[in-house]
Structure 1
Amino acid sequence: MARRKRILKRFALIVSTVVAIAVFISPARSQFSLPNFGHTPNWFIQNADNLVVSDCIRLDGRCLFKIASPKSDLSQRVDQIEQRLEDISDDYFNRNAESLKVESRIENNVPNIYVSVGDREVRLLSVTNLDTGREGIDLKTKASEIVEQLETGLQRAKQERQSEFLIRQGIIAGGLLGVMLLLTWIIARREKRLRHSKKLISPEIHLSNHQPISTQLMQRQQWNLKEVQHRLLQLIQVGIWIGGLLLVLGLFPYTRIIQIKILNFLEIPWRIVIIAALVYVFIRLSYAFIAKLNSFLASDYLLPLEADRRVQLRIKTISVVARSIVTILWIGVGILVALAAIGVDITPVLAGVGLLGVAVSLASQNLIKDAINGFLIILEDQYAVGDVISVGDASGLVENINLRITQLRDAEGRLITIPNSKIEIVANLSSYWSRADITIPVAYQADLDKALEHINLVAQEMSQDDSWRRQILETPQVLGVDSFDERGAIVRVWIKTQPLKQWDVSREFRRRIKIKFEQAGIPLPLPQQQVWFSRQYTNKDGGRKVENGGVGEQETGRRGD
């Protein structure tokens, strides 16, 4: 309740300040408007309609009237007229008495505009047929309009240089700066709370694989929405200061020209910045929508509980691919919109993109195969991020998968990148469940039945141990003697485990077997070798005789001869 009251008080203060400023500046609200760029010449599109363009004649940054000329001559004509206007206006501003006279004279059937200040007279411009444009009026009427606009503009410019007006505008500027500071403070507090809440639900730090998939997706959705709010607040804060400073510059006749130059300079960059910000916002909103959709698909009433972990891996992979596709699409749309915003005709651009797409598709058949195979891998759930797989001679943990490549991290820490088109036969070692395949050698001289009994006992104890029962899905199977080799009789044991837990279970099982066999006096076999040797010598009659020397056994750390 207290927080709500504070918010209401701040809102009331802001509204009161804005209303007070609006009431105070109402007599001069015409001085408060930003310049109109609706008729700024378009230099990007080259066609017959743009051979003749128009532009404003400005005084103190204000557009008094417009003239038109061929594109090649327009800039020179505008500079000449504005230079004459500046000279005569300086003379007019320095005179205390009202001595301004603006009139139109017909010379050689062409209206000419003259401005007189005292005994000084200057021909400002000649009105041409191009100046009338598409207004549908004659030259005389156009000249009369220019005369009226010139006289009004010069009188207003002189009034704006009076001390009373400058003081009033200074107070307005101070009020604007105060409102800007207040809004910045409020936004900064809100932004600080957003940053704190984002840290609490950061998907990179706080999402654990042990959490339910619905919880992870909900947190990701909330994080994306808060990220959008955060960036919008930053954009609003920048807009407040840029817009506020431009408004302050536009309040005074001496600085209004700076406002115009800044606006002219920022006209195209500002459009691009706005489009880039909107693209970023749409990307983040798309991420939130993807998380919301995945959360719906992963709800408990659609998916069985035993498949929850597998669903987490699959949805994580699908989310990564979907976000990549959405990002590429929005960036492409943003580029096209930005080109259109700065005046580029995107029709030939789209046609060129189509032709380029055909050429790229012909030259990038391997990439297309990669994308199709990658899509099928994800659709058929062959493997996902977090699985351990074996592809040909490569095996490891899947760290990244997209439509083009699959990246594995092997036991030595090497990152292996495999194009999806090269993946034909894949062995998934962690799909839904895993199995620990354990072989235990028993020495030939040991009691085999006793050894099997102890192996069964260790398997039962381990499956009932609180530390391991969650990782072991079923009762271990002691399959019996699987084979004989140089070490002894080989007993095989199968233990069904949680995905990726087969190696942990195998290590613990072997450790317990070693301890149990030592307690029961059952020796673990050592590698052995038998070596046959003979001695050859010559007797007194010159004949040779061979005598067998016997058998020698060689064990690890021991030799008989």
Structure 2
Amino acid sequence: MILLMSSSGSAVGQVGDVSSPSDIFQEMTVDIQLRYAARSVLFPETRRSGQVGDLAYGSVQLDGRNLFDIAAPSPIADGLEPRGANPVNVRIKRVENRLKTFLREHLHTRRDLESLSVAVTQSNTLYVVQASTAAMADPVTLATVTDDDTEIYGTTTPEVGGYFAKQIQQGLSRAYREREISYIQKVVAWAGVFWLLAGLLSFLLWRLSQRTQRRQWQLREELRSLSSDLTPAGHVDTPLEEAERADHLRTTAYSLKRRLNRQRIHLQGLMLAQGLLWLLTVSFCLRLFPQTRTVGLLFLNRPIAVAFTWGSIILIWQANLYVTERLVFFFLQHDETISSRKQERLQKRLPTLADTLKGFVQAILIIIGMILSALFIFGFSGFQLFASAGVVGVAASIVFQSALQDIISGAMLLWHDAYAIGDVITVGDSSGKVEAITLLMTQLRSAAGELISLRNGTIDNVKNLTKEWSRLNVAVDVALNTDTDKALHLMGEIFAAMAAESEWRTSILEEPDILAVDRLAYSGVTLIIRAKTAPMQQWSVTREYLRRLKQSLDEAGIEFGVPQQTIKVQT
């Protein structure tokens, strides 16, 4: 029963429709059907708050449900710094404590509920909302209607008080009903059903995760054994076959890496779904019961927002992987409009750029995810967050100065195509084949099998031995009495014979640009030949050329130069 009373206790008017206690109880019973409970659980209310002019307002809740809004002067009105607790929060806490105390101390039986009366009385200039039951000697004050409340509602004080009384009446009735044994039995049954469904879905996600992990292991094994599988045992590749095998190896390896990355993203998505499923399950079950509904809302609001944030980041990352990989895979296919030399260089550079781009995008997405998570978890405002981010950014730029230098150097090396994965380079005293490039470091594999890691910021002088083309450079010492024209002619014939053979035709790009006498010394005459070869082929061409040169010089009777020394003895 909701009445507007004067200070003497007599009714001065009715607020809205007046119902008998039995009618109220019947309305409450319909309102507390599990259908309403399920709707409130699936679509929970969040506490309203805001500011109107110089007034701040917020919602009074009972068992996690909004009843009505009350207001108080804003602590940041007129640009003043807030000091102490927020006045509106203090009012909300006081009213909520009174409602909980009344529910705990005065609503014990259905008779108490049927006799529950919430009335608005006027005491001097204030309107207060009071509640009583048949077993109570005096009513209990639950809330006071202030001018601030009237201002935010834009109506008269008695009407605001009547609204407060109506909402309190319904809230207390609903709270009592939700504490009855019959209701608890029903929601326990619903919670059991939901736990069973969550367990089945969790088992399905677990099985999918196991399948994805097995697929990842298979792809890693295929990637590990790829190079040995492509070359039959006991078979020696010709330079043409070696180049074709390298192209096939590069394309196949990149395809396997693409599939492996996709499986890794799938596994991360399944793990996120698993966590989100149990987060929703716990939140749903906690929100079924009035005593734990507030805790369930805590599980729902911020953690769910964080989970959805990272889920969206994973989807964006997956889209980035797909687009990048499809573009790289498209350009890796042979293009008739591009020369074979440029095509080979493109096949080396694109995977390098793609891997670096994916790493950069991943870092950006992680930073965005951390910023949004901080917004959701700690409730920072955008201004506070960006101000803090500015301070942290300045501090990080000082602390991680060397890392920033490495990133800038790595970006410049990639932009100018100083080297790519698969190139053989020399940096200072280190030399080897490039295995990995990131914005922070470069990793080389030396001829001895050592993995060399170099910070990009320390790389200032790079020798790329395999970019676009390489060079055969052979110098041989012959005896001083050798016919140099005959020896040079013999060296040229050997080179021409190799260039005419199909096995070496693709490895030798041009005729020798130098074929001449390079030096005279006491050890003999130094003859030199120099010519362009395909990238990575200079070593195989040089080894074959030296083998043939040794045989031809022996057949021609040309001796190698040896150090000579003349000793004169005077007697």
Give matches, 1:12-161, under 5 Å.
26=35, 28-30=37-39, 32-37=41-46, 39-40=48-49, 52-58=56-62, 60-70=63-73, 72-97=86-111, 98-120=114-136, 121-132=139-150, 134-161=152-179
Q: Distance in 2 between matches of 1:250 and 1:369?
A: 52
Please name the residue that 1:436 is paired with: 472
The answer to whether the Cα contact below 8 Å between 1:225 and 1:285 also exists between their aligned partners in 2 is: no
- The AA in structure 2 aligned to 1:109 is T
The answer to whether the Cα contact below 8 Å between 2:59 and 2:67 also exists between their aligned partners in 1 is: no
- Cα drift, residue 505 of structure 1: 3.8
- The AA in structure 1 aligned to 2:70 is I
| 1:451-476 CA distance string (max 9 Å, x none) | 7788678768877999x748733598
| 1:263-305 CA distance string (max 9 Å, x none) | 5xxx445534533443343234223222222333444335344
- The AA in structure 2 aligned to 1:291 is E
| 1:412-447 CA distance string (max 9 Å, x none) | 865454659956xx6542122212211222234678
| Corresponding residue SS for 1:137 | coil
Aligned-residue sequence identity (percent) comes to: 27
| Pair 1:483–1:350, CA change in 2 (3 A) | same
- Cα drift, residue 310 of structure 1: 1.0
The answer to whether the Cα contact below 8 Å between 1:339 and 1:345 also exists between their aligned partners in 2 is: no
The answer to whether the Cα contact below 8 Å between 1:432 and 1:499 also exists between their aligned partners in 2 is: yes
- The AA in structure 2 aligned to 1:37 is T
| Corresponding residue SS for 1:255 | helix
Q: Distance in 2 between matches of 1:75 and 1:144?
A: 22
Please name the residue that 2:361 is paired with: 326
The answer to whether the Cα contact below 8 Å between 2:332 and 2:346 also exists between their aligned partners in 1 is: yes
- The AA in structure 2 aligned to 1:52 is A
Q: Could you tell me the TM-score, scaled by structure 2's length?
A: 0.70
The answer to whether the Cα contact below 8 Å between 2:511 and 2:532 also exists between their aligned partners in 1 is: yes
- The AA in structure 2 aligned to 1:68 is A
Instruction: Give the root-mean-square deviation of aligned CA atoms.
Output: 4.8
**Out of 294, 302, 309, which is 2:344 matched to?**
309
- Cα drift, residue 247 of structure 1: 0.7
- The AA in structure 2 aligned to 1:66 is D
The answer to whether the Cα contact below 8 Å between 2:276 and 2:307 also exists between their aligned partners in 1 is: no
- The AA in structure 2 aligned to 1:53 is Y
| Corresponding residue SS for 1:529 | coil
- Cα drift, residue 309 of structure 1: 2.3
Which deviates further from its counterpart, 350-359 or 379-388?
Answer: 350-359
Q: Distance in 1 between matches of 2:387 and 2:175?
A: 51
| Corresponding residue SS for 1:250 | helix
Which deviates further from its counterpart, 374-383 or 312-321?
Answer: 374-383
Give matches, 1:263-282, under 5 Å.
263=300, 267-268=301-302, 270-282=304-316
Q: Distance in 1 between matches of 2:416 and 2:381?
A: 43
- The AA in structure 2 aligned to 1:189 is R
| Pair 1:382–1:75, CA change in 2 (3 A) | closer
- Cα drift, residue 176 of structure 1: 0.5
**Out of 301, 309, 320, which is 1:286 matched to?**
320
Please name the residue that 2:196 is paired with: 178
Please name the residue that 2:243 is paired with: none
- The AA in structure 2 aligned to 1:191 is S
Q: Distance in 1 between matches of 2:419 and 2:191?
A: 63
| 1:470-494 CA distance string (max 9 Å, x none) | 8733598693654433332333344
| 1:114-136 CA distance string (max 9 Å, x none) | 22233323221212233346332
The answer to whether the Cα contact below 8 Å between 1:339 and 1:346 also exists between their aligned partners in 2 is: no
Q: Distance in 1 between matches of 2:42 and 2:536?
A: 67
- The AA in structure 2 aligned to 1:384 is A
Which deviates further from its counterpart, 390-399 or 92-101?
Answer: 390-399
- Cα drift, residue 378 of structure 1: 4.5
- Cα drift, residue 155 of structure 1: 2.2
Which deviates further from its counterpart, 400-409 or 312-321?
Answer: 400-409
Give matches, 1:65-464, under 5 Å.
65-70=68-73, 72-97=86-111, 98-120=114-136, 121-132=139-150, 134-199=152-217, 210-211=247-248, 221-263=258-300, 267-268=301-302, 270-301=304-335, 303-331=338-366, 333-334=368-369, 337=372, 344-346=380-382, 378=414, 381-389=417-425, 397-398=433-434, 415-417=453-455, 419=457, 428-444=464-480
Which deviates further from its counterpart, 297-306 or 368-377?
Answer: 368-377
Q: Distance in 1 between matches of 2:140 and 2:56?
A: 27
Aligned length: 500
- The AA in structure 2 aligned to 1:488 is G
Q: Distance in 2 between matches of 1:365 and 1:324?
A: 20
Q: Distance in 2 between matches of 1:416 and 1:171?
A: 62
| 1:140-197 CA distance string (max 9 Å, x none) | 2222222222222222222223332222212211111111122122223333333444
The answer to whether the Cα contact below 8 Å between 2:194 and 2:281 also exists between their aligned partners in 1 is: yes
| Pair 1:224–1:32, CA change in 2 (3 A) | same
Please name the residue that 2:10 is paired with: none
The answer to whether the Cα contact below 8 Å between 1:224 and 1:288 also exists between their aligned partners in 2 is: no
Q: Distance in 2 between matches of 1:161 and 1:63?
A: 18
Q: Distance in 1 between matches of 2:143 and 2:515?
A: 107
The answer to whether the Cα contact below 8 Å between 2:269 and 2:314 also exists between their aligned partners in 1 is: no
Q: Distance in 1 between matches of 2:36 and 2:305?
A: 32
Q: Distance in 1 between matches of 2:383 and 2:473?
A: 63
Please name the residue that 1:15 is paired with: none
Q: Distance in 1 between matches of 2:172 and 2:225?
A: 65
Q: Could you tell me the TM-score, scaled by structure 1's length?
A: 0.71
Q: Distance in 1 between matches of 2:375 and 2:282?
A: 28
**Out of 492, 503, 515, which is 2:528 matched to?**
492
- The AA in structure 1 aligned to 2:121 is R
Q: Distance in 1 between matches of 2:469 and 2:489?
A: 27
Q: Distance in 2 between matches of 1:441 and 1:346?
A: 76
